[in-house]
Chain A
């Protein structure tokens, strides 16, 4: 079976600029890790890191003073914290999709981007996990989530969607991490073998676990990789479905809808690809990887964005239809209120960014224009954040009894923590670019024409 893996095919050409040899691939990618980072890197890192400090500061104050420093109130018990959580988790999904699903579907073009798509997944999930952690009233008791025997002889309530979340996202993070690391091993070996300083020799040596690239290892390696891909694939669908149940299993109008799981998954992939696009363009620009991450890749991604964006748009419209069709006055109001209530602005920002923006990708000219792609990807990110805001906050602010309706206004601390999470994400991401091979070299080599022992040029020599 494994002789089908990495089989070179047409997509080899379109997933890599022609003229690459094994050693040039090694050279081009390893160089980034071995040479001093360019100016731009330092600039971005400086910005990202200062935002990270902002995060630490505001979270410190949050722990000291309590969730009251946020704009939360009685009807709106969940604010930006949960919005950000769902936002970040969603972003993660593209990484898994690319590395696992496209892998199983033999989409060779993925090899150029899967490594840092996966990295993005991991850092996004880290940023996501930050929020459920800090948003609880008594952070120091968070460990009561863990189903472990304790002196209180107390156990958690497994009926709670939050408990499901805890397991689903936890598993998701662990699996992604393993998947990512396994993929890294051969490339770490490469860096190890090219290392000049003993420090690098040792660190990368340890990380590479003494990889020898023997076929006896490759055999098990590929099998394990395939297994991981197989296990990660259902996660792409399950994790955000579970996140969706946080809302769907409640009784709040605007939350309690069965369309949520698929709708959330589509949205997740949509936002994920938006973010991958953004990051790819940045990395490409910093390190001049135009030959490895080709327009072909970007165009494919924009197609995915177009498809998932349309699915999201469909969900938005379907929600309205179902609300009207249900004949439930609370349900009907919840949606009319979204579009025309006090938060209408948020709703229309969301609608424009998520439904209108991706439609431009019907046109090849836009699919292949870097500036257009970049701007569009930013819009997608904004739009998807607002989608979560619309779902979480607007639904809560006006539920069943009008007497308890209230308007949610964020405080400076809501904003700082949110911006800070970007600091965390980008700091981690830039460090990754600096110290780990951002493109899977072994896989790239595997799809070079020369990688095929039955390649015609070898037979000429016979």
Chain B
């Protein structure tokens, strides 16, 4: 992976040096291996850590040299070609990825036995979409992470999985004898039949032992709330497609919340508008900090997280869920109007609350949904073969650890030394455990404090299974045999429980034996492997309110925040999750959907607060809570509640790979068990000295710039991102085109008519885009876009081919946010082409603006003359230091660009060519839907549609016929092939005057 200059100076180069040695020098290899442990032991010291990493990288590369492998034990060159593989033709296999209890059914693209790209499995009944969220897309890169742990380590020596297994089997019987006294397993939450089966066996074998699941960030509060309300352990699943009116209390259901893709898909269904006659849903949003979901909000109310509880109670009493009458001095009119709207849509409304809100809030929300008869919009499912996070259990375990009650602790995944709430002092608790055994992908904070560290296999390297909320079974098939030594969760769990080391394949088979019908097992199994799933059902539970809600409601106390009594809210990073993806370059460089910050985090504060503190962006501040303090740069955001400071988790990793180490600031340091998501006030902030550069890919968003520019943006915005309310649209259906006057098209010469054959074009529906960033990551994966590092991003050289422009409209306190994905528009009269002196960028007859990399000499004139600024230049040789192993992630259908070359979106020309060849072989024309661009494939809301505009029946032509269709910068008359559908909002007429 490519890092900023210093880093490559520091590591990449040394890495190469060692590689050259390693290739031809066995002695050096021995040396490197002997060094390895030494480096590992001194890992706390950054300098030696670097040495350690560089050498580690080297050994990695050594493995990388043994490049492409099919899932067989031996490496066989294609002297005699295996019949199922045709060189150059990708094969697709079904698999799945688990993230907590979430399941991502996948379709994995394989090139010569080397997985290069993943997408959603359209056939899967639960998701039935090709879209995924950025985490899932980027997970392919984790497989080829050069900083993955490569070998089992025992304190200071390196050993093997077999040796580890041997050691455990020795102690195993002892633990069986004492029924598992002093034995504990600490895993992440999961939804896997096999794993939960093993967990049950574990409980039988070791009655006195304990298996606790814990995630640093989870939906626990939601589950708790539901349990209190309905008296059953249930998991709510939202069906936004059936909801006309949605009220969200800080739920980021289109962002970092669970099931984002399904939520977005459903939400889009209910919002999509084809003509002015269609109806669309309405979203009321109450939140403290501008979230990704707010892009879609029709009404947004800015409110600090702690006030929201009280606000929910007002609603609850309005609905008669609680009979306490609330003294609410806020926006009564708002409440009245929203309640009226919800009642009007009984059964077709939905109330959701964010995972950070306390259980009590979720109790009321669940009850209100019941009162509103929203059985269709939210269904509750039992946790079938799923184990969810249990913080209380975890806290209890830690206190036992402190008391020395735990002798052997297995940590299956996670990185709790880094991620556990600070007041737990998990690290010191861990020291009191005799045998801490860690199963993890990287040598990280936890591994460095464990006796044993066993590397985890990537999910594409071993077998596994998963079960989704509706009971559909999903298989995780390996795509490649393990690149390095390691075990996967099943193997480890099984080893712990049974004392024998079985391969994941056998374990999964064993579980499925009991599930699949006996008589036709083989065929059923084969079918499941082919489709990636085996249908099952988990019917929604029938629910009714149990117990007296008033008592719980009482626990929600109004709280007065103030300048020196602030609240701090912790958010999951939309990029690197809870820190688990810190070493993933794609995700580090992915801009935050709303703040547009890459490579790090910052304390988000409101402009009012900034004025009070007299700070501006990037200034360091000191945040104090509970006697602990941290220093972090600030970033001013509109729509931020004045007394709320928001921090994203996952940054500031001290022991990670060469990419993830020391990026951003560790918010966990302030995070306590008392308030893991939102502090109940008690936070102080003060200006500190100095600044920290923040790599934001979209400066000058009209806030951090002078009035001149701010005004210019506001005058341009109406024409750039065309927007209207649903009513306005109905009154004047052609508002989109009327925004700019039509200019007569007079030409000095006869222009080329693109009127024959296929003519490629794209339509992007701004009313659908939730700015989830999936398209950006999918494009990066498909088109081998380099990662350039923070320093380069700071210089303003980000490489993303499809970026999402973010603008704010309206008042700064509570603005409307609009998003606009912009890639190359493939103008028919492309201004970039005429200025290239060497004809490196030209037009094809099917209307593609093509870039001939080999011909480009890099005058950068084309980029200057591109009004959309979508061209990206290789200012340095960004791919020079790419380790061989990372090169395995590259798409062989797309060439790697060299220094000094301009690059840009190609409409996935490789996919067009592929489809054309296929069609030719089948002796037919290319049909609509044959070509799906990477971004289109990734879009959960189907906002992006690509196709042949010369075919009047193609989807894209249909969309372009809509009256909301418009060209970006139409006054330039460039005839872009990408056109946009204008954005609509559906505000409640009764609230108009306040909106």
Please tell me whether chains A and B touch each other in their complex, using a CB distance cut-off of 8 A: yes
A residues apposed to B, CB below 8 Å: 65-68, 71-78, 135-138, 141-142, 144-145, 154-157, 159-163, 166, 249-252, 329, 333, 336-337, 340-342, 396, 398-407
Residues 841-883 of chain B: 1 if any A CB is under 8 Å from the residue's CB, otherwise 0? 0000000000000011111110111011100111111000000
Cα distance A404–B700 in the bound complex, in angstroms: 9
Cα distance A329–B807 in the bound complex, in angstroms: 18
Contacts of B869 in A (CB 8 A): 74-75, 399-401, 404
Cα distance A221–B280 in the bound complex, in angstroms: 86
Mind listing 13 A-B residue pairs with CB under 8 Å? A68-B792, A74-B872, A75-B869, A137-B901, A138-B899, A157-B839, A159-B835, A160-B834, A249-B835, A329-B712, A399-B867, A400-B972, A405-B700
- B708 adjacent to A401 (CB under 8 Å): no
Name A403's closest neighbour in chain B (CB-CB): B805
Knowing A162-B859, A402-B700, the reply to whether A336 touches B865 (Cβ < 8 A) is no
Cα distance A73–B794 in the bound complex, in angstroms: 9
Cα distance A75–B712 in the bound complex, in angstroms: 17
- B839 adjacent to A401 (CB under 8 Å): no
Contacts of B898 in A (CB 8 A): 138
Residues 689-713 of chain B: 1 if any A CB is under 8 Å from the residue's CB, otherwise 0? 0000000001111100110110011
- B807 adjacent to A160 (CB under 8 Å): no
Name B855's closest neighbour in chain A (CB-CB): A154
Most chain B Cβ neighbours within 10 Å, of A135, A142, A249, A400: A400
Name A155's closest neighbour in chain B (CB-CB): B839
Cα distance A71–B791 in the bound complex, in angstroms: 12
Name A332's closest neighbour in chain B (CB-CB): B712
Contacts of A73 in B (CB 8 A): 795-797
- A74 adjacent to B796 (CB under 8 Å): yes
11 extra interface residue pairs, beta carbon distance < 8 Å, beyond A73-B796, A75-B869, A402-B709: A74-B797, A74-B872, A135-B859, A136-B859, A137-B901, A145-B838, A154-B838, A157-B838, A252-B865, A401-B805, A401-B868
Contacts of B820 in A (CB 8 A): 403
A251 to chain B minimum Cβ distance, whole angstroms, is 5
Q: How many residues of B contact A (CB 8 A)?
A: 58
B831 at the interface (CB under 8 A from A): yes
Q: A74, A144, A399: which contacts B798 (Cβ < 8 A)?
A: A74
- B836 adjacent to A337 (CB under 8 Å): no
- B856 adjacent to A138 (CB under 8 Å): yes
Q: Which 5 A-B residue pairs are closest in the complex by CB-CB distance?
A: A137-B858, A137-B900, A73-B796, A68-B875, A77-B860
- B900 adjacent to A66 (CB under 8 Å): yes
Knowing A67-B900, A159-B834, A162-B835, the reply to whether A333 touches B712 (Cβ < 8 A) is yes
Q: A145, A157, A336: which contacts B708 (Cβ < 8 A)?
A: A336
Name A157's closest neighbour in chain B (CB-CB): B839
Name B862's closest neighbour in chain A (CB-CB): A77
* Interface majority SS (helix, strand, loop, mixed), chain B: loop
Chain B 642-662 residues near chain A, CB threshold 8 A: none
Knowing A71-B795, A399-B867, the reply to whether A160 touches B835 (Cβ < 8 A) is yes
Cα distance A74–B822 in the bound complex, in angstroms: 15
- B873 adjacent to A74 (CB under 8 Å): yes
Cα distance A73–B798 in the bound complex, in angstroms: 9
B716 at the interface (CB under 8 A from A): yes
Cα distance A157–B929 in the bound complex, in angstroms: 36
- A402 adjacent to B716 (CB under 8 Å): yes
Name A398's closest neighbour in chain B (CB-CB): B709
- B972 adjacent to A72 (CB under 8 Å): no
B896 at the interface (CB under 8 A from A): no
Knowing A251-B831, A401-B805, the reply to whether A142 touches B864 (Cβ < 8 A) is no
Cα distance A400–B864 in the bound complex, in angstroms: 11
Contacts of B838 in A (CB 8 A): 144-145, 154, 156-157
Name B841's closest neighbour in chain A (CB-CB): A157
Most chain A Cβ neighbours within 10 Å, of B701, B898, B899: B899
Q: B708, B822, B861, B874: which contacts A403 (Cβ < 8 A)?
A: B822
- B836 adjacent to A160 (CB under 8 Å): yes
Query: How many cross-chain pairs have Cβ atoms below 8 Å apart between A and B?
Result: 167
Knowing A138-B858, A341-B706, A401-B720, the reply to whether A161 touches B835 (Cβ < 8 A) is yes
Q: B705, B857, B969: which contacts A136 (Cβ < 8 A)?
A: B857
Most chain B Cβ neighbours within 10 Å, of A74, A252, A329: A74
Cα distance A136–B839 in the bound complex, in angstroms: 15
Contacts of A163 in B (CB 8 A): 837
- A250 adjacent to B864 (CB under 8 Å): yes
Cα distance A250–B859 in the bound complex, in angstroms: 14
B242 to chain A minimum Cβ distance, whole angstroms, is 35
B23 to chain A minimum Cβ distance, whole angstroms, is 25
- B796 adjacent to A137 (CB under 8 Å): no
- A138 adjacent to B835 (CB under 8 Å): no
Q: A67, A76, A251, A329: which contacts B865 (Cβ < 8 A)?
A: A251
- B855 adjacent to A402 (CB under 8 Å): no
B806 at the interface (CB under 8 A from A): yes
- A137 adjacent to B713 (CB under 8 Å): no
Residues 24-60 of chain B: 1 if any A CB is under 8 Å from the residue's CB, otherwise 0? 0000000000000000000000000000000000000
Contacts of A336 in B (CB 8 A): 708
B747 at the interface (CB under 8 A from A): no
Name A163's closest neighbour in chain B (CB-CB): B837
B715 at the interface (CB under 8 A from A): yes
- A157 adjacent to B872 (CB under 8 Å): no
- B858 adjacent to A67 (CB under 8 Å): yes
A354 to chain B minimum Cβ distance, whole angstroms, is 23
Cα distance A78–B865 in the bound complex, in angstroms: 11
Knowing A74-B863, A401-B869, the reply to whether A341 touches B875 (Cβ < 8 A) is no
- B857 adjacent to A401 (CB under 8 Å): no
B424 to chain A minimum Cβ distance, whole angstroms, is 43
Q: B709, B806, B864: which contacts A405 (Cβ < 8 A)?
A: B709
- A400 adjacent to B868 (CB under 8 Å): yes
- B700 adjacent to A77 (CB under 8 Å): no
Name B842's closest neighbour in chain A (CB-CB): A157
Contacts of B706 in A (CB 8 A): 341-342
Name A411's closest neighbour in chain B (CB-CB): B795
- B864 adjacent to A77 (CB under 8 Å): yes
Cα distance A157–B876 in the bound complex, in angstroms: 26
B742 to chain A minimum Cβ distance, whole angstroms, is 16
Name A81's closest neighbour in chain B (CB-CB): B860
Name B719's closest neighbour in chain A (CB-CB): A329
A340 to chain B minimum Cβ distance, whole angstroms, is 6
Name B796's closest neighbour in chain A (CB-CB): A73
A323 to chain B minimum Cβ distance, whole angstroms, is 13
Contacts of B834 in A (CB 8 A): 157, 159-160, 249
- A329 adjacent to B716 (CB under 8 Å): yes
Q: A157, A398, A399, A406: which contacts B837 (Cβ < 8 A)?
A: A157
- A157 adjacent to B796 (CB under 8 Å): no
- B864 adjacent to A402 (CB under 8 Å): no
- B900 adjacent to A138 (CB under 8 Å): yes
Contacts of A159 in B (CB 8 A): 834-835
- A144 adjacent to B709 (CB under 8 Å): no
- B877 adjacent to A66 (CB under 8 Å): yes
- B837 adjacent to A400 (CB under 8 Å): no
Name A65's closest neighbour in chain B (CB-CB): B876
- B715 adjacent to A329 (CB under 8 Å): yes
- A400 adjacent to B867 (CB under 8 Å): yes
A160 to chain B minimum Cβ distance, whole angstroms, is 4
Residues 776-809 of chain B: 1 if any A CB is under 8 Å from the residue's CB, otherwise 0? 0000000000000000100111100001011100
B31 to chain A minimum Cβ distance, whole angstroms, is 31
Q: B702, B796, B856: which contacts A406 (Cβ < 8 A)?
A: B796
Cα distance A78–B902 in the bound complex, in angstroms: 14
Contacts of B865 in A (CB 8 A): 250-252
Cα distance A91–B898 in the bound complex, in angstroms: 36
Cα distance A404–B822 in the bound complex, in angstroms: 11
Cα distance A398–B706 in the bound complex, in angstroms: 13
Name A337's closest neighbour in chain B (CB-CB): B708
Contacts of A396 in B (CB 8 A): 864
- B972 adjacent to A160 (CB under 8 Å): no
- A160 adjacent to B700 (CB under 8 Å): no
Contacts of A156 in B (CB 8 A): 837-839
Name B877's closest neighbour in chain A (CB-CB): A66
A257 to chain B minimum Cβ distance, whole angstroms, is 15
